A and B are shown apart, each in its own frame.
Chain A
């Protein structure tokens, strides 16, 4: 299943946040969206997943939802959004409960995603007892449990320290290599974008417009930390964004 955005405009009252966004998200690819703070990249993600309605324009699902998919558009949130009163396994079972899946079957799914995210030993602990990195692994496992057609990742690593971030990036790469998934990955971190993105969409500052779409051909599995090619790409991106970021930084909030 692909996603097609055509002519998206969005504003909150008088305040225009997104302008004329046209974008195709092809299945099996990770599309990263980068841009200066406040450029509307998270808003764009909420629009894609139907948590908000665009003021103008269409967001289309192209093609059939793949078989066995319980929730085609599935988010991974920056703040993890785990229920603190449910265990790790309970948080994953939450999203399976409304689909009439048998107990045995849902237990199978839970075990499978926990194993894929290296969480098998943590099934019965509560979110409060585990580190931020582990929490985000749980959130990713929960997203994988519903077998999504498109994963919508909203700065998933931004609440983590840089070492945990490296580890999780490796995990995301290995998850993708084992079984490619489609994802829209919003981030302000260019290093994440060049490590994980097949395509990188650069937004301008508010109102966000697509400035450039950069394609990185190097396969995900061959990208390494401090890879000179990637550093090069990252630098180009930064040159492109630097002035915008400075202007965005100097802007008054709510002005």
Chain B
């Protein structure tokens, strides 16, 4: 049998070679490469690009204010803003303003995030909680939290507590919405698997639902923390001796644009730092997605 098949397959092979050029093909006619159409729509890491944009923008402003095609009244010179920042730092006032702000930011955002994630998970897991609270959250979400500051002052006093409450409230609603959306998107097949192996209810939540929802929770956290920074400044503008918001308010009322922009730049840096911190957490926690 093997002896038989050997010449046979050889014959088949040479036959195949012979017909490689299909009878209908016309190799002599025009040839051109197939055009490539599959590019784009795939984000690639370009870490230096962000710095380039910042650098070009600042260089443009600096050149504009020096040469004069941007009037000094419209925008201060970036180098002056930088000098004001250095002054603020060397006088020690930077920490006097920054520390209270950071404390308010961290405490307020922590309270809001923890409560928001917990309620979001509860909404994601229990139909009654969902039916009862989703409309309430939808009603609270669009309320401008700043408008409620006087109310918070009456409830929690003029000190720190009302500022914590404002920031916490502002981070709470977006965290609830992001979390229950993320819980809804956890693969039901994995949950059924957990049930089919008789895992305890709490194990399923901790080992399947939470890790599965983590990506959505973290992207909600990005938005919530940006809102927290906005509210931090708003709270400090309405009644604080020290804090970045108070500093900006003082500068604004004196039309001291250099100091105003120094304050704004500090907030922007804070925003960038918070964002990259979340990026680092994502890289660690969501390593399995890479």
A247 within 8 A of B: no
Interface centre among B189, B196, B207, B208 (most CB of A within 10 A): B196
Question: Across the interface, do B189 and A74 meet the contact criterion of CB distance under 8 Å?
Answer: no
Contact with A98, one of B190, B192, B200, B212 (Cβ below 8 angstroms): B200
B190-227 with Cβ < 8 A to chain A: 190, 192-200, 203, 207-208, 211-212
Assembled-state Cα–Cα distance A128/B287 (Å): 11
Question: Across the interface, do B197 and A71 meet the contact criterion of CB distance under 8 Å?
Answer: yes
Residues of A near B190 (CB, < 8 A) are 81, 83
A212 within 8 A of B: no
B171-204 with Cβ < 8 A to chain A: 189-190, 192-200, 203
Question: Across the interface, do A77 and B189 meet the contact criterion of CB distance under 8 Å?
Answer: yes
Residues of A near B195 (CB, < 8 A) are 51
Residues of B near A146 (CB, < 8 A) are 197
Residues of A near B203 (CB, < 8 A) are 97-98
Contact with B196, one of A49, A86, A98, A128 (Cβ below 8 angstroms): A49
Interface of B is mostly: helix
Residues of A near B207 (CB, < 8 A) are 83, 94, 97
- For the complex formed, measure the closest distance between the CB of B157 and the CB atoms of chain A, giving whole angstroms: 44
B289 within 8 A of A: yes
- For the complex formed, measure the closest distance between the CB of B279 and the CB atoms of chain A, giving whole angstroms: 18
Compute the total of residue contacts between A and B using a CB distance below 8 Å.
47
**Interface size class, chain B:** 10 to 19
Contact with B289, one of A75, A77, A84 (Cβ below 8 angstroms): A84
Contact with B along A75-90 (1 / 0, CB 8 A): 1010101011110000
Whether A94 contacts B199 in the complex (CB less than 8 A), given A83-B208, A83-B211, A85-B211, comes out as yes
A181 within 8 A of B: no
Question: Across the interface, do A126 and B288 meet the contact criterion of CB distance under 8 Å?
Answer: yes
Residues of B near A245 (CB, < 8 A) are none
A95 within 8 A of B: yes
Residues of B near A128 (CB, < 8 A) are 288-289
Residues of B near A79 (CB, < 8 A) are 189
Residues of A near B289 (CB, < 8 A) are 84, 128
Assembled-state Cα–Cα distance A95/B189 (Å): 15
- For the complex formed, measure the closest distance between the CB of B196 and the CB atoms of chain A, giving whole angstroms: 5
Assembled-state Cα–Cα distance A83/B192 (Å): 12
Interface of A is mostly: loop
- For the complex formed, measure the closest distance between the CB of A36 and the CB atoms of chain B, giving whole angstroms: 24
Assembled-state Cα–Cα distance A143/B43 (Å): 38
Interface centre among B190, B193, B203, B289 (most CB of A within 10 A): B193
A88-106 with Cβ < 8 A to chain B: 94-95, 97-98
Assembled-state Cα–Cα distance A175/B235 (Å): 67
- For the complex formed, measure the closest distance between the CB of B208 and the CB atoms of chain A, giving whole angstroms: 7
For B211, the closest partner residue in chain A by CB is A85
For B200, the closest partner residue in chain A by CB is A98
For B286, the closest partner residue in chain A by CB is A85
- For the complex formed, measure the closest distance between the CB of B176 and the CB atoms of chain A, giving whole angstroms: 24
Residues of A near B189 (CB, < 8 A) are 77, 79, 81
Residues of B near A51 (CB, < 8 A) are 192, 195-196
- For the complex formed, measure the closest distance between the CB of B75 and the CB atoms of chain A, giving whole angstroms: 47
Residues of A near B197 (CB, < 8 A) are 71, 74, 94-95, 146
Interface centre among A79, A84, A128 (most CB of B within 10 A): A84
For A91, the closest partner residue in chain B by CB is B193
Question: Across the interface, do B198 and A71 meet the contact criterion of CB distance under 8 Å?
Answer: yes
Assembled-state Cα–Cα distance A86/B203 (Å): 14
Residues of B near A97 (CB, < 8 A) are 199, 203, 207
Question: Across the interface, do A98 and B198 meet the contact criterion of CB distance under 8 Å?
Answer: yes
Residues of A near B196 (CB, < 8 A) are 49, 51, 71, 73-75
Q: Can you list 29 A-B contacts (CB < 8 A)?
A: A49-B196, A51-B196, A70-B198, A71-B196, A73-B196, A74-B196, A74-B197, A75-B196, A79-B189, A81-B189, A81-B192, A81-B193, A83-B190, A83-B207, A83-B211, A84-B288, A84-B289, A85-B211, A85-B212, A85-B288, A86-B288, A94-B194, A95-B197, A95-B199, A97-B203, A97-B207, A98-B200, A126-B288, A128-B289
A-B interface, 10 closest residue pairs, ranked by CB to CB distance from nearest: A81-B193, A85-B288, A95-B197, A75-B196, A85-B211, A98-B200, A81-B189, A84-B288, A71-B198, A126-B288
Q: Which B residues form the contact surface with A (CB < 8 A)? A: 189-190, 192-200, 203, 207-208, 211-212, 288-289
Q: Which A residues form the contact surface with B (CB < 8 A)? A: 49, 51, 70-71, 73-75, 77, 79, 81, 83-86, 94-95, 97-98, 126, 128, 146
- 11 additional contacts, CB 8 Å, given A81-B193, A94-B194, A98-B203? A71-B198, A74-B196, A74-B197, A83-B207, A83-B208, A83-B211, A84-B288, A97-B207, A98-B199, A98-B200, A126-B288
